[in-house]
């Protein structure tokens, strides 16, 4: 009997692993009129953009805290004017949002990775980076760690940004609104590349971005309850390291390395933008 139970648990475990990262099960294509496609038995998703339209998808689930991973391969070649957005967002006019946006560029020039955090509909917390590799040549993993203490943006496991919960000094932090995962590929040549100076070259269309290996180790919000609220020992709030994860000394050093060498804009260093003084979270150590 014990061996049968063990076998059934193994089978169940294999089924759970198999279902992880299946785009058919985890996402809905929401717009694009055929320009978004789920391929390879749900293991690959592609978004395309042409002069008529872009495309996008969203998660079936809503999440309230989690560790979200997605591998992306961005639009290659002359991607100027295009934006590939990958983000968490809640509905309504006072929404919360955690953003990755990839701003295209001319062939050979680097993508700009744009990050932002919104709470109750207010953002203005932009940090921008170049990457230390070509994000169009292969898939790379872009991760959001979101727990009650902090939000960490990472690329291939290297943290590039940490936004800490600073409610104690009056800074709003997204912690009350469940969010879905969204992604879209769209034309933003009025601002995306060199402030809109470089326009989209439609002779290169269709532009295509690809996605694979989605994973969410997260609290799913459904019918007003979190899957982490269970008193079960296996509930994520009690057993998942991400719920209380912080950056260790090695991760802090890697974060400093990225911010020293690859950060190209930091709202916390833009004194001209904030003549009344930098935001409170910028003034903490």
**Given CA atoms 230, 232, 236, 239 in this order, what sign does their dihedral have?**
positive
Whether the bond into 106 is cis, omega within 30 of 0: no
Judge whether 97 counts as a catalytic residue.
Answer: yes
Under 8 Å between Cβ of 200 and 81: yes
**Could you write out the DSSP letters of every residue in 128-170?**
EE--SS-TTTS-EEEEEEEETTEEEEEETTEEEEEEE--GGGT
Q: Is residue 254 within a helix (H) or strand (E), and if so which, with residue range?
A: helix 249-261
Catalytic residue among 62, 101, 167, 246: 101
**Which residue, among 48, 35, 65, has the nearest Cα to 220 in the 3D structure?**
65
Distance in angstroms (rounded) separating the CA atoms of residues 134 and 76: 9
Buried-exposed string 143-152: b where 16+ CB fall within 10 A, e elsewhere:
bbbbbeebbb
Distance in angstroms (rounded) separating the CA atoms of residues 195 and 199: 10
Judge whether 246 counts as a catalytic residue.
Answer: no
Read off the DSSP letter of residue 44: E
**Which residue, among 76, 73, 100, 75, has the nearest Cα to 89 in the 3D structure?**
100
Read off the DSSP letter of residue 32: S
Distance in angstroms (rounded) separating the CA atoms of residues 163 and 146: 10
Catalytic residue among 62, 97, 167, 281: 97
**Given CA atoms 227, 230, 234, 236 in this order, what sign does their dihedral have?**
positive
Under 8 Å between Cβ of 107 and 37: no
> Which sequence positions are flagged as catalytic?
97, 101
């Amino acid at each position: 009997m014990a061996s049968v139970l063990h076998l059934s648990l193994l089978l169940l475990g294999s089924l759970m692993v198999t279902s992880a990262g299946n785009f058919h099960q985890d996402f809905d294509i929401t717009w694009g009129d055929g320009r978004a496609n789920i391929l390879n038995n749900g293991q690959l998703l592609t978004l395309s953009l042409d002069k008529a339209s872009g495309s996008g998808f969203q998660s079936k689930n809503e999440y309230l805290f989690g560790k979200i991973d997605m591998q992306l391969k961005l639009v290659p070649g002359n991607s100027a004017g295009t934006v590939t957005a990958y983000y968490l967002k809640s509905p309504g006019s006072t929404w919360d949002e955690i953003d990755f946006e990839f701003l295209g560029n001319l062939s050979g020039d680097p993508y700009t990775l744009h990050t932002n955090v919104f709470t109750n509909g207010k953002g203005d917390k932009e940090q921008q980076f170049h990457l230390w590799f070509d994000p169009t040549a292969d898939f790379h993993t872009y991760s959001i760690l979101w727990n009650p203490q902090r939000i960490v943006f990472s690329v291939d496991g290297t943290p590039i940004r940490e936004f800490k919960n600073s409610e104690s000094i009056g800074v709003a932090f997204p912690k009350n609104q469940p969010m879905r995962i969204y992604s879209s590929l769209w034309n933003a040549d009025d601002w995306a590349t060199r402030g809109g100076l470089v326009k989209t070259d439609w002779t290169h269309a269709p532009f295509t971005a690809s996605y694979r290996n989605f994973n969410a180790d997260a609290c799913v919000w459904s019918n007003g309850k979190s899957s982490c609220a269970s008193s079960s020992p296996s509930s994520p709030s009690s057993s998942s390291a991400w719920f209380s994860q912080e950056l260790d000394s090695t991760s802090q050093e890697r974060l400093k390395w990225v911010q020293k060498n690859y950060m190209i804009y930091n709202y916390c260093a833009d004194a001209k933008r904030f003549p009344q003084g930098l935001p409170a979270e910028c003034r903490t150590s």
